[in-house]
Structure 1
Amino acid sequence: MNRKTLAARMEDARVILNASFTDNPMFVPVSAEEFHFQAKEMKAILDTRISVVLMRKGAPVGAVIAIPDLNPLVRATGARLRWSTPWHYLRYRLTRRRAVIIFQGVMPDFHGAGLNPLMLWHVLSAMKQAGYHKVGGTWIADVNAASLRQLEKVGGKPLHRLHLFRKALA
């Protein structure tokens, strides 16, 4: 992934997201327009060194999309655009040490082939090389045993549980 191929790789990531998350609770497939609307701001801050889209014979088969953790910048600016924001942004770029994995997924035909551990190893190695010291992730459903196991294998520790509730309105 690099700046020249970013648009194509993000579309590949969307395809992988929709296919790999289809059995996850509460997941709704994302159209190209929705994905790119949500991701357009993310593209500006994406560190292409710490994301990967795995291709096989020209087709996307897996992805790990990560971004630098923006919380320190948001905190420093008070979540407001001010005259001091460029200075805070420069300081943030020089001192950022934590990344966040937005999502990881493998196309269903390739589940169990060892691609997710390979991609995680690549991304975590790239993060170390880029100067990151910590990584966090977004929620993983309790029923997603494979993803939970992958994070356990790389030494990830859960911070808290997320509970989803449902009630019939019959």
Structure 2
Amino acid sequence: MILNESFADNPMFVPVSRAEFEFQAKEMKWIMDPRISAVAEKDGTPAGAVIAIPDVNPMLKAMGSRLGLTAPWYLLKHRLKRRRAVIIFQGVKPEHQGRGLNPLLLAHVLGEMRRAGYDTAGGTWIADVNAASLRQAEKAGARPLHRLHLFGKTL
């Protein structure tokens, strides 16, 4: 799985089983926009991926974060007015890293976002020790919104 292999060296990352991944991802089908995600293959095997979804926070705020009879209306309204996407995962299997695949995938997805009518994109956190991903975000024109601090203590 691209997620587990590409994130293995990130601090605090815990590998996800296929069952856990499917449980977490199955509800995304209601909000996914397939135009703004991509998977790259090498010899028929996935080598890297960028998975993005429309930002659902404005919809959740409008709904009061409550599912009710009006939820389908809010979902439809959101689909017609969505302008911000969130990259929830981007990674490349270790054997394909350092060859320009991740920047290529990111450039492709950002271009598809523009063509699909999105105005802005955000991302999830990048570990402070992940210099390559931090540099890539900087090259893509992204700016940090905040830092994540992880703490530990030997017991």
Instruction: Tell me the secondary structure at the aligned position of residue 86 of structure 1.
Output: helix
SS in 2 for 1:64: strand
Matches of 1:24 and 1:95 in 2, distance apart? 35
Query: Given the two structures, how large is their TM-score scaled by the length of structure 2?
Result: 0.97
Structure-1 separation of matches of 2:3 and 2:107: 19
- Structure 1, unaligned runs of 5 or more: 1-14
Post-superposition CA distance 1:26-55 (Å, at most 9, x none): 011111001101111112211110000101
The answer as to 2:116 corresponding to 1:130 is yes
Identity %: 67
Separation (CA, whole Å) in 2 of partners of 1:85 and 1:42: 15
- Map of 2:128 onto structure 1: 142
Q: Secondary structure at the match of 2:22?
A: helix
User: Please, which runs of 5 or more residues in structure 2 have no aligned partner?
Assistant: none
Residue of structure 1 in register with 2:9 after alignment: 23
Pair 1:68-2:46 in alignment: no
Aligned to 2:65: 79
Q: CA deviation at 1:83?
A: 2.7
Alignment RMSD: 0.8
User: Deviations for 1:3-62, whole angstroms, at most 9, x for unmatched residues?
Assistant: xxxxxxxxxxxx011111000000111110011011111122111100001011101110
TM-score of the aligned structures, taking structure 1 as reference length: 0.89
- Name 1:42's counterpart in structure 2: 28
Matched with 1:10 is: none
